[in-house]
């Protein structure tokens, strides 16, 4: 795991956005794996700005998001499809048909998971995957204890995750109890992964990630087994840690 220290949120966003933009310029047919939550907003803002200013084109880019809430329609302001449309896709020349999120409204959720994996495979896999870090160590919505062998599946969200995401909703009752998420094995197949960590609330979990063994009770720890992961974190969160280099 390569570790990049960023001075602050802006620099973290800048470094990650630059990596994505460089990739798209050198390979216009890139497939991106995308995340939601507060962390990647600065990156998306920069991608949109760069596209407007410098004309970077996303016409041939495909995207796959990590996850979606079960029961929220694309028009629901808290659905991840809505988030992606608002914060990224509407600002780019991307072909909407090439943007993929699991369908949380699907009648047959199990079938939806299988189809999502098939689409991912057909697209040739993910070139760069953006990842945030849940406060309990989840990646996507793979909660602690999720098998590392998991593929796209339906999850029951942990209470702590619902509490953490409550800030985006009017009340806790409105936070869905289930989601569809790409599995850990699906995420690990990405050719390159950028893990972004920002904010005081992530200090404890980042400390655990850097110090603990690779265990299923800490889903993000699996990333230490991936050959091409870059952790970009704000400097204060990294101070006092030995640099981690893992196979
Ligand atoms: N499913 C998402 C994750 O993909 C995200 O990484 C995490 C952290 O979110 P934030 O960036 O808001 O801290 O929250 C959600 O639970």
Residue 140 is assigned to a structural domain of this protein: yes
Q: Give the residue-averaged pLDDT of 166-178.
A: 95
Q: Is residue 92 part of a domain?
A: yes
Interface ipTM > 0.90: yes
CATH number (domain holding residue 6): 3.40.50.1360
Residue 242 pLDDT: 58
Domain count, the chain: 1
Contacts within 8 Å (CB) and 24+ apart, 143-149: 143/219, 144/216, 144/217, 144/218, 144/219, 145/216, 145/217, 146/183, 146/184, 146/216, 146/219, 147/184, 147/216, 148/184, 148/185, 148/188, 148/216, 148/222, 149/183, 149/184, 149/185
Using the atom order of ligand 1, give the atom closest to the CA of residue 39: 11
Judge whether residue 147 has pLDDT over 50. yes
| Stretch 236-243: mean pLDDT | 74
Cα atoms found within 13 Å of the Cα of residue 149, Cβ hemisphere only: 0
Catalytic residues, by residue number, are: 67, 136, 138, 143
pLDDT in tens, 54-71: 999 999 999 999 999 999
Looking at residue 189, the DSSP 8-state letter turns out to be T
The pLDDT score that the predictor gives to residue 236 is: 85
Residue 34 lies in a domain: yes
Mean pLDDT is lowest, of 27-41, 76-90, 133-147, 231-245, for 231-245
Give residue ranges with CB within 6 A of ligand 1.
Answer: 35-39, 66-67, 132, 134, 140-141, 161, 165
Which pLDDT score, from 0 to 100, does residue 8 have?
A: 95
* pLDDT (0 to 100) of residue 237: 87
Q: End-to-end distance of the chain based on CA atoms, in angstroms?
A: 8
Residue 243, pLDDT score: 55
Tokens for 122? 């057909």
Question: What is the overall mean pLDDT for the chain?
Answer: 95
Ligand 1 mean position, distance from CA 205 (Å)? 13
| DSSP result, 108-151 | SHHHHHHHHHHHHHHTT--SEEEE---TTS-BTTB-TT--TT--
Residue 162 lies in a domain: yes
Contact of 211 with 137, CB cutoff 8 Å: no
Nearest ligand 1 atom, CA 66: 4
Nearest residue CA, atom 4 of ligand 1?
140
Quote the domain boundaries for residue 117. 2-185+204-238
Look at residue 245 in the predicted model and tell me its pLDDT. Answer: 47
Report the nearest atom of ligand 1 relative to the CA of 161: 16
User: Per the domain annotation, does 195 fall within a domain?
Assistant: no
Residue 180 belongs to a domain = yes
Pocket residue to mutate for ligand 1, from 37, 69, 176, most atoms within 8 A of Cβ: 37
Of the two residues 237 and 220, the one the predictor is more confident about is: 220
Q: Are strands 128-131 and 31-34 parallel, antiparallel or unpaired?
A: parallel
| pLDDT tens per residue, range 84-118 | 999 999 999 999 999 999 999 999 999 999 999 99
């Amino acid at each position: 795991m390569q570790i990049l220290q960023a001075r602050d949120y802006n620099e973290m966003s800048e470094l990650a956005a630059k990596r994505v933009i460089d990739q798209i310029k050198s390979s216009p047919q890139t497939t991106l794996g995308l995340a939601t939550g507060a962390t990647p907003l600065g990156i998306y803002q920069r991608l949109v700005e760069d596209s407007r200013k410098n004309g970077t084109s996303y016409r041939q880019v495909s995207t796959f998001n990590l996850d979606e809430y079960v029961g929220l329609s694309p028009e629901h302001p808290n659905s991840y499809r809505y988030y992606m449309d608002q914060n990224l896709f509407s600002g780019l020349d991307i072909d909407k048909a090439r943007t993929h999120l699991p369908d949380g409204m699907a009648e047959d959720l199990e079938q939806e998971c299988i189809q999502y994996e098939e689409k991912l495979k057909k697209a040739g896999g993910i070139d760069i995957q953006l990842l945030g870090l849940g406060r309990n160590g989840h990646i996507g919505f793979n909660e602690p204890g999720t098998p590392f062998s998991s593929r796209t599946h339906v999850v029951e969200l942990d209470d702590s995750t619902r509490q953490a995401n409550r800030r985006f909703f009017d009340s806790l009752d409105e936070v869905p109890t289930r989601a569809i998420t790409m599995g850990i094995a699906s995420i690990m197949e990405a050719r390159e992964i950028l893990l972004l960590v920002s904010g005081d609330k992530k200090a404890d979990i980042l400390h655990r990630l850097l110090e603990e063994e690779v265990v299923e009770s800490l889903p993000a720890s699996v990333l230490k087994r991936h050959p091409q992961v870059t952790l970009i974190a704000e400097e204060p969160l990294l101070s006092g840690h030995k640099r981690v280099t893992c196979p």
